[in-house]
Amino acid sequence: MNWGFTGYGRIARKFEENLAHTDHKLVAIASRSGYDQIKAPIKAYQNYKDLYADTEVDIVYVNTTHNDHCSQTIAALHAGKHVLCEKPLGTSESEVIQMIEAARANDKFLMEAIWTRYLPAYQKVISLVKNGAIGEIQMVHANFGFRMNPEDPKERLINPDLAAGAVWDVGIYPLSLAQDIFNQYPQNIQVSAKLSPLNVEDRCAIQLTYGEGQVAQLSCAIDLNSVNDATIIGSEGSITLRDFWKCEQFTLKTTKDSKDFHLPYVSTGLYHEAMACATYIENNIHESSLITFDNSRELARLMDEVILLSRSKEK
């Protein structure tokens, strides 16, 4: 399968590295800032429309800043391309709905690139949970935080014009985990946040309560390094995922014993979602079974609510 990239930043280079482990080809890149770094035989475009018009490109990987995901995805879909779009798919539920409608109207594949869900270790965890290995799930704890460089004037994570803030960038990972485990929309959402001078979240603590009293306690930060583990607690035991967002190791504990698992991923891990995209497209399936359109829409709705609560002047 032939790929085209919109953007050529850090994540695009990681994705390119992973494609080297497949029989796929990166054939073209459109990038305003990284144009001069694109080397032949890869075609270099400064205009995104030229990439969408390239007949050699089968699928477009949208990896620009969050604020451009919706417009670029829709343009690529209307040009007849399949699309893998970096998370968050859109910066609102309404954007995500527009993107899904464009995929359906053009009969093309679209997936939000929540790569965690395709990692072998993560898939094993979900299988264990669904098969009752730790009983009825009662709680999820998950944290994801790192310290950005606040002195960088180009830092996208603090620029409101680029859809900045901890929730969109890293909060989506613990929120996605809770969604995957509980498979329902929370009945109650509580949020406490520290905001930057530009009124975006430097850090955020989130508590979600579900229909039968289950609770997810989550945190995200772009101004603090945290222990980025997650623990899923059931009536008969627990599972702890090390660096859950890029999980390769986890521990299953029950009342009877404890067992460690190590299921490594290929390259830097993006390989698995790339291969999944190809499988779906080859089988004429236009929606991921692990990251469904409903998943992406509900995640966007949840982030809408969390961000509204975190940035509200009246909490």
State whether 156 and 203 are in the same domain.
Answer: yes
State whether 75 and 172 are in the same domain.
Answer: no
- From 115, 148, 169, the end of a domain falls on 115
pLDDT at 150: 62
Using CA atoms, how far apart are residues 52 and 80, in angstroms rounded to an integer? 8
Q: DSSP readout, the chain?
A: -EEEEE--SHHHHHHHHHHTTSS-EEEEEE-SSSGGG--TTSEEESSHHHHHT-TT--EEEE-S-GGGHHHHHHHHHHTT-EEEEESSS-SSHHHHHHHHHHHHHHT--EEEE-GGGGSHHHHHHHHHHHTTTT-SEEEEEEEEE-B--TT-TT-GGG-GGGT-SHIIIIIHHHHHHHHHHH-S--SEEEEEEEEPTTSSEEEEEEEEE-TTS-EEEEEEESBS-----EEEEETTEEEEETTGGG-SEEEEEESS-EEEEE-PPSTTTTHHHHHHHHHHHHTT--B-SSS-HHHHHHHHHHHHHHHHHHH-S--
State whether 59 and 80 are in the same domain.
Answer: yes
Using CA atoms, how far apart are residues 242 and 122, in angstroms rounded to an integer? 10
CB atoms within 10 A of CB 17: 13
pLDDT tens, position by position, for the chain (315 residues)? 999 999 998 999 999 999 999 999 999 999 987 677 788 899 999 999 999 999 999 999 999 999 999 999 999 999 999 999 999 999 999 999 999 999 999 999 999 999 999 999 999 999 999 999 999 999 999 999 999 876 564 567 878 888 889 999 999 999 999 999 999 999 999 999 999 998 999 999 999 999 999 999 999 999 999 999 999 999 999 999 999 999 999 999 998 899 999 999 999 999 999 999 999 999 999 999 999 999 999 999 999 999 999 998 654
Tokens 């482990």 — which residue? Answer: 21
- From 115, 137, 161, the end of a domain falls on 115
Domain presence at residue 98 = yes
State whether 249 and 215 are in the same domain.
Answer: yes
State whether 137 and 77 are in the same domain.
Answer: no
State whether 179 and 144 are in the same domain.
Answer: yes
Domain presence at residue 283 = no
CATH (domain of 59): 3.40.50.720
Domain presence at residue 146 = yes
CB atoms within 10 A of CB 285: 11
Using CA atoms, how far apart are residues 274 and 288, in angstroms rounded to an integer? 12
State whether 162 and 226 are in the same domain.
Answer: yes
* Cis peptide preceding 41, ω within 30 of 0: yes
pLDDT at 275: 98
CB atoms within 10 A of CB 20: 10
Domain presence at residue 294 = no
Range of the domain at 33: 2-115
- Considering just the CA atoms, what is the radius of gyration of the chain in Å? 19
Residues in the chain, how many?
A: 315
Please state whether beta strands 110-113 and 188-195 pair in parallel, antiparallel, or not at all (unpaired): unpaired
Domain count, the chain: 2
Q: Which of 194, 272, 281 is nearest to 14 (CA)?
A: 272
Domain presence at residue 306 = no
Using CA atoms, how far apart are residues 167 and 305, in angstroms rounded to an integer? 11
State whether 129 and 250 are in the same domain.
Answer: yes
CB 85 within 8 A of CB 59: no
- From 224, 239, 264, the end of a domain falls on 264
CB 209 within 8 A of CB 224: no
pTM over 0.85? The answer is yes
Please state whether beta strands 215-221 and 137-145 pair in parallel, antiparallel, or not at all (unpaired): parallel
pLDDT at 315: 46
CB 61 within 8 A of CB 12: yes
